A = this chain, B = another copy of it.
């Protein structure tokens, strides 16, 4: 999976950072977490395209997380998108889309909107699932996890042949992890199939105070993308506004034992993110600060 940080600012954009959005490119499908103002232009710059398979997950209905959606839908319509678009988000998302569509016109392609009502599975595909937990922010806000499903291990037909197992149903059972009986001999699946391949997990916090539920969902994730709106000296303000500091995000990463932490949603008061990075790395060394159009590759 390739992760592209489309917008990394908190609250208002700066000259260098646009409003919140993270794209995940996965086998020709695009998954977006949030869609702040300017997302469509960043998608152009990142060469992501507007016509392909795509799902958008909105964390909450604040302007800096959703105001790129109307323009994105318009551009998709202008380019005669045909694929359906799936958009997930908190209660009120439908009303928001209806409100601007009533003035700007409805999208000409199929648009399916799902409102997240409770913690748990939001989308379940054949290769990955999306889970949500309530974020600790204003109103209804969600954090999301994308978890790839485990894939069966690699099957070695030459080994099966070497053990004189005839091609056919026995091969399939071995491939699916079953041990089989051949005459009076037991052939173990592990003799011809490599171990199951575990998928990657990527977690996106949206806006939130430090949240134990998020620690649970992010457990051993390959990548945690966590907001750090403020630096440590503004912990009181962060608490008041429903946000996290750099060190709080790092504490969450450490508690969840993730592989990597990326800080995003930085307040415009921090033109230089270095001091936040230094604070976070004291707690969780594998930390990076996101920049607009920064790319990361995550592989299980």
Is A78 engaged at the interface, CB distance under 8 Å to the other chain?
Answer: yes
- Among A72-121, those with CB < 8 Å from B are 74-75, 78-79, 92, 95-96, 99-100, 102-104
Is A190 engaged at the interface, CB distance under 8 Å to the other chain?
Answer: no
Q: Quick one: which of B14, B95, B103 contacts A92, CB cutoff 8 A? A: B103
Q: Are A74 and B68 in contact (CB under 8 A)?
A: no
User: Known: A70-B67, A99-B103. Contact between A75 and B44, CB under 8 A?
Assistant: no
Q: Are A18 and B37 in contact (CB under 8 A)?
A: no
Label chain A's interface by main secondary structure: helix
Is A129 engaged at the interface, CB distance under 8 Å to the other chain?
Answer: no
Is A11 engaged at the interface, CB distance under 8 Å to the other chain?
Answer: yes
Q: Are A71 and B63 in contact (CB under 8 A)?
A: yes
- Tell me, in angstroms, the Cα distance from A63 to B70 when the chains sit together: 8
Q: For the side of the interface on A, what is the size category?
A: 20 to 34
Q: Are B12 and A104 in contact (CB under 8 A)?
A: no
B interface footprint on A12-27 (CB within 8 Å = 1, 0 otherwise): 1111001100000000
Residues of B contacting A78 in the complex (Cβ-Cβ under 8 angstroms): 11-12
Q: Are A12 and B75 in contact (CB under 8 A)?
A: yes
Residues of B contacting A15 in the complex (Cβ-Cβ under 8 angstroms): 41, 44-45
Integer count of this chain's copies in the complex: 2
Residues of B contacting A63 in the complex (Cβ-Cβ under 8 angstroms): 70-71, 74, 104
Q: Are A19 and B67 in contact (CB under 8 A)?
A: no
Q: Which residue of B lies closest to A92 (CB)?
A: B103
- Tell me, in angstroms, the Cα distance from A129 to B246 when the chains sit together: 50
Residues of B contacting A79 in the complex (Cβ-Cβ under 8 angstroms): 12
Q: Are A61 and B13 in contact (CB under 8 A)?
A: no
Residues of B contacting A70 in the complex (Cβ-Cβ under 8 angstroms): 63, 67
Is A62 engaged at the interface, CB distance under 8 Å to the other chain?
Answer: yes
Residues of B contacting A41 in the complex (Cβ-Cβ under 8 angstroms): 13-15, 18, 37-38
Is A64 engaged at the interface, CB distance under 8 Å to the other chain?
Answer: yes
- Tell me, in angstroms, the Cα distance from A102 to B96 when the chains sit together: 9
Is A208 engaged at the interface, CB distance under 8 Å to the other chain?
Answer: no
Select the residue from A14, A45, A67, A74 with max chain B CB neighbours within 10 A: A67
A100 nearest CB across to chain B (Å): 7
